[in-house]
Each structure stands twice: as structure tokens, then as C-alpha cells.
Amino acid sequence: MKIRKALMRDVKHIHKLINGFAAEQVMLPRSLNEIYENVRDFFVCEQEGGTEAGVDEAGAPLFGAGALHVLWEDLAEVKSLAVAKAHQKNGAGRALIERCLTEARELGIKRVFSLTYVPGFFQHMGFREADKASLPHKIWGDCLHCPKFPDCDENAVIIDIHG
């Protein structure tokens, strides 16, 4: 498995992956436009030796994606983390989060959070539960535009980044 920064050719595959889970109500949907605008936030997971157009040698699309979105000088969010069901439990989700945390460290970001329906997964990686009210940049930036606001049923988790 290989983790790399997303490219423009990956956007439609990322969109399909995320919105497949959104259709099952296990994550929020993302528009194609939103993914294009934020493509530099995304990392993707593919088979080692992946080829052009976001497919591996067998013709399978990318099987994982996740983004690190900077919100403030000391705060970023891991968002849109998705791994195809056939590839879950093989370390892809963990690898995507680790790559996001590495980038956060490189940028000098001190705290990274996520809003998730699976907080236990993040807690195994050192995140702790957080009160959404402690994330005002998120609430007043993105959440106001969410169809679930103010009745969000996602769980907030956060981790402190060190050096």
C-alpha cells in the first residue's frame, strides 16, 4: 500500500468513495466542487505500483482517502477519512491518519481534531474525546453550513501534536 498526496486525476475517485459511505449515513457527503477546491488537503491510499487515473494495475480505483484541513494557526481537522470496505482492517485508515498528523507536525500545528461516527478508531491512535464547543473555528466556519446543524450527531476527538 502507498500513501501519497492526491492529484487532480484522483478527485472523482475520492468523491465516489466518500459519497458511497455518505449514502449509508456513516459520513457526511462532499460535493465534487468541494473536493476539487480542497484537493491539496487530501492524501490517497493505493496499491503499491498504482498507475494513472487513480487506478491500480488491476483497474481498481484508489481504496482510501483522507484530508488534513487547516482551520487556524494551531488547529487542523482530519476530514473525509474513507477506506473501501474490502480494504478495511489492513492499516490503510491508520496510515492515512499518520500521514495527516505528520503533515500537521511539519506545518507546526499543535492540535488536530476530527468529527466522526467512529471515535474508537481515532482513540486507538491517541485522540481523546472533545467537546464540540471547544472548536469554535470549526463550528462557526463549516458547521453552520451543514444540514445537520445544530443537531450534529458526530463525535469530536482531538490530539495534541508534539514536535
Per the structure block, which three cell numbers stand in for 129? 474525546
Buried b (16+ CB within 10 A) or exposed e, 139-161: beebbeeeeeeeeeebbbbbbeb
CA separation for the pair 28, 34 (Å, rounded):
12
Indicate if the pLDDT at residue 102 is higher than 50: yes
Burial class of residue 38 (count of CB atoms within 10 Å of its CB; 0-12, 13-18, 19+): middle
Q: Is the domain defined by 2-160 classed in CATH 3.40.630.30?
A: yes
The 10s digit of each residue's pLDDT in 54-92 is 554 444 579 999 999 998 899 999 999 999 999 999 999
Report the mean per-residue pLDDT for the chain: 86
The whole-number average pLDDT for the span 8-35 is 93
Q: What is the pLDDT of residue 130?
A: 93
